[in-house]
A and B are shown apart, each in its own frame.
Chain A
Amino acid sequence: MSATIAPGQNVPAPVGDETRAFTGGAPRAARGGASHRRRIVSVVLSIVAVILFVIFVFPVYWMINTSFQPTGDIISSNPHFWPDNFTLRNYQRVLFEPGRTPFFPALGNSLMVTLLTVAIALLFSFLAAVAVTRFRFKSRRWFIITILVIQMIPGEATIVSVFRVIDGWHLLNTIIGLTIVYVAGVLPFTIWTLRGFVNGVPVDLEEAAMIDGCSRAGAFWRVTFPLLAPGLVATGVFGFIQAWNEFLMALVLNARPEMMTLPVWLRTFLVANGTTNWGGVMAGSTLMAIPVIIFFLIVQGRMTSGLVSGAVKG
């Protein structure tokens, strides 16, 4: 594939090679050269894209690859780049071997906490986002600044006090307790992102509906809310990742084996035996990563527009 490009050939910078293509009065030869160069650039870019793809995917591949290999192949001085001796033994051990913290309760806990967190965080942050974008009220400015500032507080700092609050409510080792903490954790970011979305929907649309006889709330529900769907998805994805991947709070608040979430479950695995069973750890890691990856691939298109509209006014 790379044969078309001689080494050391002077390849123009990736951006802006079509500069000359726009100069209408250029001689034909020059234009031909430009389009030739453009083709080379596009080939080079494609090759770089493939290389980048490999770099980004390799660890994921290596995790899955290792998880399907028998221990003998994993612990050998020559790594196997393909599971020649394909086996499901690692998965079998991780999922069903007695004596370990069981996988399925952890999966259930993670799913429950994550879905609840997303649902509640979306509801709360949606209400807050509407409040700060559609109304001018006293202390509105302070609310937004506080939202920004809260994100600077490191979680490790307040974890002991959070522990005591949750303990005081007798919510240690419960789904509800962890969910409450996660919702509070993602709220600043979700409010901020949704705020961008609500801002992005022109108020004129609502005004038009109001002139046509809608009430203010009615106009909002019928006109603005449907336009916020991508924003809600993007924000929801953020909450999902945060809650699914969170490690420290779950480690401290839900330490009981049957109440662990997947990250905590995975860690007990890593340190439980002195000599790490890499096949098992990789199988566990795969099981934990796959749901997020699938979820991501489904919603991917919706996410980025959301992240941007948080930063740039629509």
Chain B
Amino acid sequence: MTTVDSGRETAPSAFDGERLVAPEPRTPKRPKFSRRAGGFTPYALLIPASALLLVIVGWPLLQLIITSFQQFGREQVFGKPPAWVWFDNYVGVLTDPAFYAVLLRTVVFAAFCVVITMVLGTLVALMMNRLNKFFRLFLSIGLLLAWAMPALTATIVWGWMFDTSYGVVNAVLTNVFGLDFARHQWLIDPLSFFFVAGIIIVWGAVPFVAFTIYAGLTQVPDEVLEAAQLDGAGSFARFRLIVFPYLKPIFLITTILQVIWDMKVFTQIFALQDIGGVREKTNTLGVYIYQVSIAGGNFGVGGAIAVIFTLILMTISLYYVRQVVKEEEL
């Protein structure tokens, strides 16, 4: 594993096809001087973080995997030795239509949230890049407020705004727009439940994406954009050919983070169910695992679902991990 410079010769430009920005010049001699192996030092520096992660992430993960092969209920939590059932839990989960319903719901919902968040976040970022200082600060403060709102608080507030009897949304739709939304129950129907949940999640996530991409936009070199302008590239062409390739790492990392966060979403769905959703029809995978293991006491089955879910998330992010490993000359 001591491949000091593996892949350095072939270090690709971040942009397939169109090489608009020259790759950074590499000076292969330098590592000898500064990036020494360092003897024991790097390991010592890693001890605190590794030890903690090992105990609080590694060990529970191992236990989770073991549990998923066992018949593990409430008695086992209190000390009764669990029986090994090997793949029974997995077979049970994978032949259960309810699992696929939850999985499909999670994937579709997350996909919607990610796409809408990324598009809106990008548009807001492009807009911020064009605003004058005053309006940019103004908008930034608005975004910061939404970003800073804790997920639970945000869900409760939005739930209150969509309240059946006294919610401001129903009142405005009825009184201002003359629509028949008096006493409309937003959370009962799964589709509109997820509509509300989607609004909460996108509202909370757009600021992160917008700020990140905006910060990236300020790093796109003006000369390149001006050169493209002189060559007659329109605004969309410039975005597609320059801005996007240049910011590709940022788009990649924000998208993957959104995918992971939206697939794992727990607080918003859980709290919205508290406020008035039908649990069985609105569970996403994170909440489903909680329902099965902690509320239902089926830790073996819940463990199996959790392992499957983790594998799915890892598969999704495999592309990202590979990309990082390739590009960052690890």
Contacts and interface: CB of A to CB of B under 8 A. Distances in A.
Contacts, number: 351
B13 interface: no
Given A74-B166, A135-B41, A266-B153, A282 B1 contact: no
B141 interface: yes
B188 interface: no
A-side binding surface: helix, strand, loop or mixed? helix
B309 interface: yes
Contacts of B35: 134-136, 203
A52 B124 contact: yes
B67 interface: yes
A270 B46 contact: no
Interface centre among A79, A125, A161, A312 (most CB of B within 10 A): A161
Nearest to A190: B49
B192 interface: no
Interface in B228-270: 229-230, 234-236, 238-239, 247, 249-250, 252-254, 260, 264, 266-267, 270
A55 B200 CA distance: 12
Interface residues of B, number: 126
Contacts of B267: 247-248
A149 interface: yes
Nearest to A266: B152
Interface stretch (B85-93, B95-103, B126-134): B126-134
B238 A152 contact: no
Contacts of B59: 161, 165
Interface centre among B53, B254, B286 (most CB of A within 10 A): B53
Given A141-B325, A145-B325, A248-B266, 13 more contacts: A16-B236, A18-B229, A123-B48, A134-B34, A135-B36, A156-B266, A156-B289, A158-B63, A160-B293, A180-B52, A278-B166, A312-B219, A312-B247
21 contacts: A15-B126, A15-B238, A16-B234, A42-B132, A78-B171, A135-B36, A137-B42, A140-B1, A151-B260, A153-B57, A155-B264, A156-B266, A156-B306, A159-B290, A159-B294, A160-B77, A248-B267, A270-B271, A289-B150, A311-B249, A311-B252
Interface of B: 1-4, 24, 30-31, 33-38, 41-43, 45-46, 48-50, 52-53, 55-57, 59-61, 63-64, 67, 77, 124, 126-127, 130-132, 135-136, 138-154, 156-158, 160-161, 163, 165-168, 171-172, 175, 203, 206-208, 211-212, 214-216, 219, 226, 229-230, 234-236, 238-239, 247, 249-250, 252-254, 260, 264, 266-267, 270-271, 274-275, 285-287, 289-290, 293-294, 299, 302-303, 306-307, 309-310, 313-314, 317, 320-321, 324-325, 328, 330
